[in-house]
Structure 1
Amino acid sequence: MTNANAALNSAQSRKTMSGAGLRTFFNIADLWKLNGKECMTLLGVTNESTYYKWKKNPDCCTLARDTLERLSYILGIYKALQILLPREDAADDWIKKANNAPLFNGRSALDRMLSGNVVDLFIVRQYLDAQRGGI
């Protein structure tokens, strides 16, 4: 088992990562100008009261492994964009711009990510990592 997998399986590690991950996510969501519904979809949460509880108090809970995985991909997407497009506004706007890469088929990366599937977050992250020369 890798260190990352061990950390995600440990309740104490997940608790520590949960608050920091949510705080960072909500900061990114503000920069990307995401609405509540989009945030909920990216986080994989369907209950509005849970979402607003997390937003009000990111340290309130220990997130499930699936949610932490989603956060990891989103943080990686954000970081990759900051590297690829060092002008912050360009990096933050890219997520919503139509993209002609076959992966996006004229849609934006956000459209792809809002399918609700974790794999789509992974695919966008992998695409950006490849653009950086990381894969």
Structure 2
Amino acid sequence: MSDVLHPETAKPVGVNLNTAAAAEAALRTFWRLAEAWKLNTAEQIALLGVARTTLYQWKQGRVGPLDRHVLERLSYLFGIYGALQILLPVPERANEWIRKPNTAPFLAGSSALNRMMGGQVADLFVVRQYLDAERGGKA
């Protein structure tokens, strides 16, 4: 019998993120996000937390497994992007939001992108947490 019919005997299927194929898929998604947000090279470097040479290697297709710090950053960035698409269903508005001044207390009139450019994973976390709370999700 199949595991579909007997889920109690099914073995969990994990996704191995420590492969070049997984890294390539994640980076393809990031390049699309970077295009949507109109991120320049310096912004991409800061958001990913990598060196310029690493970014250029990736853009040339020389990709190996990503370290956990980059994966964590990508996870936050993808979550931010997704939350914005839910909160602002007009793609142009959602994509422009990260550059607009914001009165949220943790941004103090600055933009979310300025906060995320702080260089720390925590900067990405607080933006993600804020957007999740705004959409009524888990904060």
Length-normalised TM-score, structure 1: 0.87
Corresponding residue number in structure 2 for 1:18: 23
Q: Counting helix residues as a fraction of each chain, which structure ranks higher?
A: 1
Distance 2:86 2:41 in 1: 27
Structure 2 unaligned blocks of 5 or more: 1-11
Q: Does 1:62 align with 2:65?
A: yes
| Aligned ranges 1:11-90 → 2 under 5 Å | 12-15=16-19, 16-46=21-51, 48-57=52-61, 60-90=63-93
Larger radius of gyration: 2
Q: Where do 5+ consecutive residues of structure 1 fail to align?
A: none
Which residue among 94, 98, 101 is the counterpart of 1:95? 98
Query: Structure 2-normalised TM-score?
Result: 0.85
Residue 130 in structure 1 maps to residue 101 in structure 2: no
Supply the AA of the counterpart residue of 1:28.
L
Q: Distance in 2 between matches of 1:72 and 1:82?
A: 15
- Determine helix, strand or coil for the equivalent of 1:98: coil
Alpha-carbon RMSD across the aligned residues, in angstroms, is: 1.6
2:119 matched residue in structure 1: 116
Number of matched residues?
125
Greater relative CO (CA pairs within 8 A, separation 6+): 1
